[in-house]
Chains A and B, each alone.
Chain A
Amino acid sequence: MSDQDLNLTPAEQELSLALGTLRPAALDLPFDRLAFEALQRHSTRQLRLWRATAALLAIGLAGVVLMSSGGNAPAPTITAHAPTPTHQSIDPPAIAFASPIEPGRADYLRLRSAILRDGLDALPAVPTASPGRVLSVRDGSGV
């Protein structure tokens, strides 16, 4: 329903016009001062907002810097361990074959093999004892 459809009677319109000649009590509100103060509050609020935003950004930036400086340590390596076999190995220890034969022991082994193969004849001739050399056994007392 629009205003055009709602018509007051002539008598009501006449009274409306008569009432309309009355002026509401005049005011002297300082609108310019009010506007100035409101704009000042607006500016202050904007300033606070910007300061808060800047502070948050600074904190965030500091956090990023701290996190990136802590990242100089070497990155942890991920090693994969092969699963340990559950069955026991029956292979002989490799150390028996890996250790090199000492030169003196090689002579002994060679002599031993020769004795086993040829008997006592394989023993080398015993050198005659030299008169100037006396074998002595030192006891625990040092004598």
Chain B
Amino acid sequence: MHDIADLIALFRERASTLVLYARQWLPREQAEDIVQDVFAKLIERRQRVPGIAWLYRCVRNAAISELRSTRSRLQREQRIAGERSDWFDASPDALIDAARAAELIEQLPAAQREALVLRIWSGLGFAEIADVMNISTSTAFAQCQSALAELKKRLEKPCPTKT
């Protein structure tokens, strides 16, 4: 992809899922900044995007690098935990409650959560997920499967009611 217009279109299409992906490490504002930075650098360098997986890996690297550069990591993680309820937009078409899903996904182990986000909302194949996460395809599949099994188990539990 060489055309700037194509790159802009790609980011328009993928921005929300890229930010959702980056929000596993960063709060919303910083996740948006990371995605904007990646986009700006690609435009500035007229970088060719070899594939969608490559784009997610760029965002992943930038987000992890940003996370490492921050001293108050614990505070940031606490802030992210407090923000996760707005991972998804509430929609009448949704078959699962957005806030409940975000809460359950938040409780998943990091690798399972990452694989699930890439699979469900970014639409990547297991080979692409493996490429992004630098793991084997079978491990990527196993992470997704475990995440879904865990979510299913928790969703089947009745919600704790406040008395």
Interface of B is mostly: helix
Q: Let me know if A25 and B87 touch, CB within 8 A.
A: yes
Given contacts A29-B32, A41-B44, contact A24 B145 (CB under 8 A): no
Q: Bits for A31-45, please: 1 = Cβ < 8 Å to B, else 0.
A: 110110111011001
Number of A-B pairs, beta carbon distance below 8 Å = 115
- Contact partner of B95 (CB less than 8 A), chosen from A18, A26, A31, is A18
From B9-17, B49-57, B59-67, the one touching the partner chain is: B9-17
Q: Let me know if A12 and B17 touch, CB within 8 A.
A: no
Q: What residue of chain B has the Cβ atom nearest to residue A40's Cβ?
A: B44
Distance in Å: Cβ of B147 to nearest Cβ of chain A: 10
User: What is the bound-complex CA distance between A56 and B86, given in angstroms?
Assistant: 55
User: What is the bound-complex CA distance between A37 and B127, given in angstroms?
Assistant: 35
Q: Bits for B104-142, please: 1 = Cβ < 8 Å to A, else 0.
A: 000000000000100111000111000000000110010
- Contact partner of A8 (CB less than 8 A), chosen from B86, B89, B148, B155, is B148
Residue A101 is within 8 A (CB to CB) of chain B in the complex: no
Q: What residue of chain A has the Cβ atom nearest to residue B33's Cβ?
A: A29
Q: Let me know if A35 and B36 touch, CB within 8 A.
A: no
Residue A22 is within 8 A (CB to CB) of chain B in the complex: yes
- Contact partner of B16 (CB less than 8 A), chosen from A27, A31, A41, is A27
Residues of A within 8 A of B2 (CB): none
Can you add 9 more A-B contacts, CB < 8 Å, to A3-B137, A26-B89?
A15-B152, A19-B101, A19-B116, A19-B151, A22-B96, A31-B12, A37-B40, A38-B43, A41-B40
Chain B interface (Cβ within 8 Å of chain A)?
A: 4, 7-8, 11-12, 15-17, 19-20, 28, 32, 35-36, 39-41, 43-46, 86-89, 91, 93-96, 98, 101, 116, 119-121, 125-127, 137-138, 141, 144-145, 148-149, 151-152, 155
Chosen A-B contacts, 7 in total, with CB atoms closer than 8 Å, are: A12-B148, A21-B94, A23-B88, A24-B20, A27-B19, A29-B32, A42-B43
Chain A interface (Cβ within 8 Å of chain B)?
A: 1-3, 6, 8, 11-12, 15-27, 29, 31-32, 34-35, 37-39, 41-42, 45
